[in-house]
């Protein structure tokens, strides 16, 4: 009888809190939900934790958020388990503990939380947060993909396309790419079109891997996609290949190769490549060539190139400046055929 009375009171407090929250009275909501949470109401514990986590009605308090979220998680609230995992992963209100984060993510994923399944799948695929395990990655990604996760569908497409941990199957790969693309998932859209030979999409795929957008950063794969687009004459890809060789990102640093790729893009009037050529020549103290390319880039509207002209001229003789200006005029007049 006492237990029934406590449960009834906890439920009443929860409903009062819900009404207050919906009307924007967060202070009353927190007060009522705390009464209910202290009586063991897991929903109240979870929602109170979220209020503290997001600072609803007061100052954000990760420590208090973790306290209530963990209580709800221990009662089996799947979304709370995911939030507790996130708190452990990022050290929010609790010391960072990746092992504990993994435990709670697994609990949430096992209870059907799509975000946890997708996160675990990507983590096992990339081998960053946990030891790389393609079989386990596939397990979680498949569960998430079956529930409509566009990221998981895209990652499954990659696994089938590359044959990592599973038999290579282009038909299944494109099937998953299509599913993700139909939901508007940009990486899948780019990947689908890129694999059909579109230069701009191939460039965007290279950009994704170059910068680690939605995928694990991988310069070798970035170079592969850039090269496909560059070989079709796509100037932005040629420019980025120049930068990769200049910096030595995933390849041996090679300024001659950088100049080759920059020149291909610059010869198409791509001002960023013209600017980069100027910068590369300046680093080798070839101020005449640097001035020429910055001058050309500035004529295309590149602001930084125009500003750099004043800087480099201070290191040049008046005759060098005149020669650089003459070379720039010839280069443009001859449609980039005489730019040496």
- Write the pLDDT tens digit of every residue in 237-290: 999 999 999 999 989 999 999 999 999 999 999 999 999 999 999 999 999 999
Which pLDDT score, from 0 to 100, does residue 126 have? 86
Within a domain: residue 155? no
Within a domain: residue 5? yes
Which pLDDT score, from 0 to 100, does residue 231 have? 93
Number of domains in the chain: 1
- Write the pLDDT tens digit of every residue in 2-57: 333 444 545 557 888 888 888 888 888 888 888 999 999 999 999 999 999 999 87
- Write the pLDDT tens digit of every residue in 69-88: 999 999 999 999 999 999 99
C-alpha distances out from residue 339 to 244, 317, 320, Å: 23, 20, 16
114-126 and 78-90 helices cross at what angle (nearest 10)? 40
Within a domain: residue 214? no
Which pLDDT score, from 0 to 100, does residue 1 have? 37
Q: Is the pLDDT of residue 335 over 80?
A: yes
What band does 188 get if pLDDT is binned at 50, 70 and 90? confident
Q: Write down the pTM of the prediction.
A: 0.62
Q: Which of the 8 DSSP states describes residue 109?
A: H
- Write the pLDDT tens digit of every residue in 126-182: 887 788 999 999 999 999 999 999 999 999 988 998 898 899 988 898 888 889 888
Within a domain: residue 121? no
C-alpha distances out from residue 190 to 141, 154, 197, 208, 214, Å: 20, 11, 11, 10, 12
Domain that holds residue 42: 1-111
Within a domain: residue 73? yes
The set of long-range contacts for 248-253, using a CB threshold of 8 Å and a minimum separation of 24, is 249/210, 249/219, 250/218, 250/219, 250/220, 250/222, 250/223, 251/219, 251/223
Within a domain: residue 169? no
Within a domain: residue 189? no
What band does 322 get if pLDDT is binned at 50, 70 and 90? very high
Could you tell me if 265 and 232 are in contact, meaning their C-beta atoms sit under 8 angstroms apart? no
Could you tell me if 68 and 61 are in contact, meaning their C-beta atoms sit under 8 angstroms apart? no
Q: Which of 11-20, 45-54, 194-203, 205-214 has the lowest mean pLDDT?
A: 11-20
48: domain CATH number is: 1.25.40.10
Give the separation between CA 289 and CA 162, rounded to whole angstroms. Answer: 43
Phi then psi dihedrals of residue 309, to 5 deg: -60, -45
Rg (CA), the chain: 28
- Write the pLDDT tens digit of every residue in 285-317: 999 999 999 999 999 999 999 999 999 999 999
How is residue 233 written in tokens? 């004459």
Could you tell me if 250 and 223 are in contact, meaning their C-beta atoms sit under 8 angstroms apart? yes
Alpha carbon 218 to chain centroid, angstroms: 12
Phi then psi dihedrals of residue 139, to 5 deg: -55, -50
Within a domain: residue 157? no
């Amino acid at each position: 009888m006492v237990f029934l009375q406590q449960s009834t009171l906890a439920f009443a407090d929860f409903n009062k809190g819900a009404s207050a929250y919906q009307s924007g009275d967060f202070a009353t909501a927190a007060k009522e939900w705390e009464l209910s949470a202290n009586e063991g109401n897991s929903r109240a514990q979870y929602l109170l934790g979220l209020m503290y986590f997001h600072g609803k009605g007061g100052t954000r308090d990760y420590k208090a958020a973790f306290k209530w979220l963990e209580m709800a998680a221990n009662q089996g609230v799947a979304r709370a388990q995911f939030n507790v995992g996130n708190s452990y992963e990022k050290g929010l209100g609790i010391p960072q503990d990746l092992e504990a984060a993994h435990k709670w993510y697994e609990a949430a994923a096992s209870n059907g939380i799509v975000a946890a399944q997708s996160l675990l799948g990507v983590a096992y695929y990339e081998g960053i947060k946990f030891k790389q395990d393609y079989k386990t990655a596939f397990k979680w990604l498949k569960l998430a993909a079956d529930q409509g996760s566009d990221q998981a569908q895209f990652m499954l497409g990659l696994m089938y396309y590359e044959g990592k941990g599973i038999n290579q199957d282009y038909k299944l790969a494109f099937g998953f790419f299509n599913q993700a693309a139909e939901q508007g998932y940009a990486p899948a859209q780019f990947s689908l079109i890129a694999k059909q030979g579109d230069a701009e999409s191939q460039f965007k795929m290279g950009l994704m891997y170059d910068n680690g957008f939605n995928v694990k950063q991988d310069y070798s794969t970035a170079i592969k996609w850039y090269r496909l687009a560059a070989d079709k004459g796509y100037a932005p890809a040629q420019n980025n290949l120049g930068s990769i060789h200049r910096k030595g990102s995933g390849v041996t640093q090679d300024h001659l190769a950088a100049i080759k790729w920059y020149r291909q893009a610059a010869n198409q009037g791509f001002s960023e490549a013209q600017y980069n050529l100027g910068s590369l020549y300046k680093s080798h103290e070839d101020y005449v060539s640097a001035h020429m390319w910055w001058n050309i880039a500035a004529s295309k509207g590149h602001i930084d190139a125009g500003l750099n002209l004043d800087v480099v001229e201070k290191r040049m003789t008046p005759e060098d400046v005149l020669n650089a200006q003459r070379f720039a005029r010839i280069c443009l007049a001859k449609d980039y055929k005489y730019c040496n």
